[in-house]
Amino acid sequence: MPMPANTLRIAVLPGDGIGTEVTEATLAVLEPLAKRHGIGLAFDSLRAGAFCYRDTGTAMSEETFAAAAAADAILLGAMGWPAIRAADGTEIAPQLDLRFRLNLYAGVRPFRAIPGVPSALADPRARDIDLVIVRESTEGLFFSRDRGVVTPDMAEETLRMTRPVTEKLARFSFDLARRRAAARGRPGVVTLVDKANVFRAFAWMRGIFAEVAADFPDIDSRSHYVDAMALDLVRRPWAFDVLPTENMFGDILSDLGAGLVGGMGFAPSADIGDTHAVFQPAHGTAPDIAGQGLANPTATLLSAAMMLEWLGARGAGQGFTDAAAELEAAVDAAFAGGLRTPDIGGQDGTAAVARAVAARIGVTN
């Protein structure tokens, strides 16, 4: 069948372990979704990751990088494998190289309670959890990746933040809060998560956020220390909206956030820059369950919805925006209708989730 005129090219990097399984399930849902909304998605499957490194000596070839960079968006499964490591002992993580090389500074991690998915919290207000961590993803403590100094007597890693990226992170966060406020019909709140009471770098970061906040008088601007935020994300996560933060803090708080809404299988993400974006579940390759058809593909499905929304917002057309909304609604409807994955004590494996969500396409709205 010929592709519609509005066809976009999606680079697909399934990666390793359950990355390949959740990607396959997601593509199986995207096909009927694209057909229904008259949008063209041309998938270009590319090999990269730990097993690629083992077999070829390169985790992501330059050709693969170039093909991914030339696509309209990148959809990624997960990469890495504990038994396959670089000479310095670190895991193979070409997905981090994509973030750095494509300047994907905004790591967008939404945490939303899905109807029917049990929360780790007993408080009934856990049903209202709907927050986004915006993890700066190109600098912070991760600036030090591959640069750390280790001698027999000391080890040192350096945290670096720059003004251009910090300003962009702030602007991105306030813009996001504004869009969310408009969609939800309530005021937007940006809460910077930092450690400004101890480190000069974070006090400086607060200053930059305050400068940018002046351009967004409609958005409430606050700040919170990271240790207090760890407590409050457990005590009252429903009270938060948009939480920008440094790379390492965002890495850690993201897993906490996932724990609140059902686990890693429910945590989507988008790594967004000025020109490129990578969409992937927040989880890793889960070697403990890989190859068994048990992986929950919900995080990847929701990441794909974020991709469609991003493409729509960049002018790809209303069909993309509509498809994004329908995919999210179909996921919600499937779980509200009784779908239960093994990570939340159910029996529905990877393929069953894809079938259940695909079955809701065209009937949810």
| Neighbour-count burial of 362, counting CB atoms closer than 10 A to its CB (0-12 exposed, 13-18 middle, 19+ buried) | middle
Residue 296 C-beta: closest distance to ligand ATP, Å = 4
Sign of the dihedral defined by the CA atoms of residues 109, 115, 119, 123, in that order: positive
Residue 335 C-beta: closest distance to ligand ATP, Å = 14
Question: Which one among 77, 257, 262, 265 touches ligand ATP, defined by CB under 6 A?
Answer: 265
Does position 296 bind ligand ATP by CB under 6 A? yes
Does position 283 bind ligand ATP by CB under 6 A? yes
Which region among 31-39, 146-154, 207-215, 279-287 touches ligand ATP (by CB under 6 A)?
A: 279-287
Question: Which one among 68, 286, 305, 330 touches ligand ATP, defined by CB under 6 A?
Answer: 286
Judge contact between 340 and 347, C-beta under 8 A: yes
Residue linked to tokens 């989880």: 283
Does position 276 bind ligand ATP by CB under 6 A? no
Neighbour count for residue 207 (Cβ, 10 Å):
11
Does position 23 bind ligand ATP by CB under 6 A? no
Count residues contacting ligand ATP (CB under 6 A)?
15
Which region among 119-127, 163-171, 180-188, 283-291 touches ligand ATP (by CB under 6 A)?
A: 283-291
Residue 264 C-beta: closest distance to ligand ATP, Å = 4
Q: Nearest to ligand ATP by Cβ — which residue?
A: 284
Residue 8 C-beta: closest distance to ligand ATP, Å = 26
- Between 10 and 264, whose beta carbon lies closer to ligand ATP? 264
Which region among 186-194, 216-224, 286-294, 327-335 touches ligand ATP (by CB under 6 A)?
A: 286-294
Residue 22 C-beta: closest distance to ligand ATP, Å = 6
Beta strands 277-281 and 268-272, pairing class: antiparallel
Judge contact between 330 and 357, C-beta under 8 A: yes
Q: How many Å from the N-terminal Cα to the C-terminal Cα in the chain?
A: 26
Does position 19 bind ligand ATP by CB under 6 A? no
Closest listed residue to residue 246, CA positions, set 161, 168, 144, 132? 161
DSSP assignments along 15-83, one per residue = ESTHHHHHHHHHHHHHHHHHHHHT--EEEEE---SHHHHHHHS-SS-HHHHHHHHHSSEEEEEE--BTT
Does position 328 bind ligand ATP by CB under 6 A? no
Does position 258 bind ligand ATP by CB under 6 A? no
Residue 274 C-beta: closest distance to ligand ATP, Å = 26
Task: Determine the Cα–Cα distance for residues 133 and 74; give it in Å rounded to an integer.
Answer: 20
Does position 330 bind ligand ATP by CB under 6 A? no
Task: Determine the Cα–Cα distance for residues 276 and 17; give it in Å rounded to an integer.
Answer: 25
- Rounded to the nearest 5 degrees, what angle is found at the Cα of 234, between the Cα atoms of 229 and 116? 135
Does position 153 bind ligand ATP by CB under 6 A? no
Q: What are phi and psi of 188, to 5 degrees?
A: -95, 145
Binding-residue pattern over the window 82 to 121 for ligand ATP, x denoting contact by CB under 6 A? ----------------------------------------
Question: Which one among 19, 284, 312, 349 touches ligand ATP, defined by CB under 6 A?
Answer: 284
Judge contact between 142 and 172, C-beta under 8 A: no
> Which pair of tokens denotes residue 283?
């989880």
Residues that bind ligand ATP (CB under 6 A): 18, 22, 80, 264-265, 283-286, 288-289, 295-296, 299, 343
